[in-house]
A and B are shown apart, each in its own frame.
Chain A
Amino acid sequence: MKVLLVDDSGTMRAIQRRCLNKLGIEEIVEAADGIQALEFFERNSFDVVLSDWNMPNMDGLTLLKEIRQRNKQIPVIMVTTEAERGRVLTAIEAGVSDYLVKPFTPDGLRDKLEKWVSTQV
């Protein structure tokens, strides 16, 4: 199981990384924006992508669309402050697999990650 974790906040990456570690996932590649993430995505094979929406250089929605041009199947979970229905629908139209709004509780994050990690094992 290999996860691509994309967020411009090191704090948010640390929270998600620790949650993934607790689920037994150790192979995690971290990126701070969409451009870096896309570079990693093209050079590696991942099982799940977790991505923030609002990031410098390339945002998460653009990253999602780029990933979907290359891979229609891989689960992409948006972990974001964008909570409005319209934004969620935009992400769904672009092919997002699941959506988690910040702020989230540790249990909320674990449940969301567990669902996708377990289906990919």
Chain B
Amino acid sequence: MSTAVSESAGLTVECVGPIVAATELVFATMLGCTPTRTGLAVKWQTTPTYGLCAIVNLSGHASGTIVLGMSERAACGVLHRMIDEIALEITDEVRDAVGELAAMIGGQTKSKLKDLALTISIPRITRGRNQHIPFPADVRPICIRYDSEIGPFSVDFALTRAIQTEVRSEP
């Protein structure tokens, strides 16, 4: 593994703690859920873990992607817990609620990684298991799987240091 790839992998690993803390805080505060971690693994594909995904891009001194993925049942549970509305399928309201959770996880994560001066994008919602998630190309994403009162979900993420141009003066 080259040094650049190794450093980027290190940065993604460094993010595990902040992302776990952010995810558990957001689910507890907004949904009254106590998610339980059921797995943590390096992903070898860029396809999503679940069919419904809220994708938040990070940029700054590092760039990367956080993906909150969940089953249809869990996504409908998010809407129900947030605003007490029942949905039996994925509606615009369900997409919006899941996207807002992802934005909060992204916001909390970046506040714990101050040195990287990150900004977060507005969340983008996608559906389907056969799509390509645009993780940074030089680093393997990590997938944290959870179970919760509303059903299983996952947070997939990868972060890589932004390339900095070094200016050298002539001798």
- B-contacting residues of A (Cβ < 8 Å)? 8-12, 14-15, 18, 54-56, 80-84, 101-105
Contact = CB atoms under 8 A, between A and B. Distances in A.
A84 B114 contact: yes
A14 B122 contact: no
Nearest to B26: A103
15 contacts: A14-B82, A14-B85, A15-B82, A18-B83, A80-B107, A81-B103, A81-B106, A81-B108, A84-B114, A101-B107, A102-B100, A102-B104, A103-B26, A103-B29, A103-B104
Nearest to B111: A83
Query: What secondary structure prevails in chain B residues at the interface with A?
Result: helix
Interface residues of B, number: 24
B113 to A, nearest CB: 10
A64 to B, nearest CB: 17
B11 interface: no
Q: From DSSP, what is the main secondary structure of chain A's interface residues?
A: loop
Given A14-B83, A15-B83, A83 B96 contact: no
B79 to A, nearest CB: 7
A18 B83 CA distance: 9
B14 interface: no
Interface in B94-109: 96-97, 99-100, 103-104, 106-108
